[in-house]
Structures are given as C-alpha cells and as structure tokens.
Amino acid sequence: MGLLQEDTQEKLNKLNKPFETFLSFVAFTLTIRILPLFESFTSNIALQIIVGLSFVGIIIKLFIDNRKLPYILRKNCERLNVSLTFLYIAYIILYFVVALVIM
C-alpha cells in the first residue's frame, strides 16, 4: 500500500512540475516588479531589507512552496483545454499591459 501511494505521488509530482515552473516564473516576475515599491516606502536601509525579504518570503510561500496550487492549475487547464504555452503567453501579455498602465 505504501509503495502504491509513493508511485501515485511521484506521478502527480511529474505532472505538476511544468505548472510549478510556471508559478515560479510568475512569482519571480511579480517580485521583481513589486520589490522597488516596498523599498521606496522608507529611507531606512535596514527596514527596506527586512520588508523586501519578508515580501520575497511571502511570495515564495504562496507560489512556489504551495503544493496544491500547481494541482489546481493543472486540473483547470485540463478542464478548459488550455496549454501551458498559452498560459505563458497570456501571462506575459497581461504583465506588460499592467506594467504599462501602472507606469
């Protein structure tokens, strides 16, 4: 029973790996875009570093360390028949549109 469970878990991890990579990409781009906003809140360098690192930690925890989010993303993509390439293209376009509106 334990071997069957490990095999199933390994298959799920393999299926979710591309979606984990996509979520890591999203987390990385959001962190790069939003981090300067946190640094501009104060002139104290130590506080800037603490706030920046805590923000990076929260983003990593939400997007990268979360095992349920890639599973949900994969299931929704399968249900809607959306490819991973389309997710990347849609996110990049949305990222640039939002970046141009904010600037």
Task: List, for residues 47-59, the tens digit of each pLDDT value.
Answer: 877 887 888 888 8
Tokens of 31: 């962190």
Digit-coded pLDDT (tens) for 8-57? 777 767 778 899 889 889 888 888 887 777 677 777 778 877 887 888 88
pTM passes above 0.85: no
User: Taking phi first (over 0 means left), then psi (-120 to 50 degrees means alpha), and beta for anything else, what does residue 81 get?
Assistant: left
Angle (CA) 69 59 6, round 5°: 40
Kindly list the domain boundaries of the chain, sorted by start residue: 2-102
CB 102 within 8 A of CB 65: no
In degrees and rounded to multiples of 5, residue 83 shows phi and psi of: -85, 160
Residues 6+ apart with CB under 8 A from 19: 70, 71, 73, 74, 77, 84
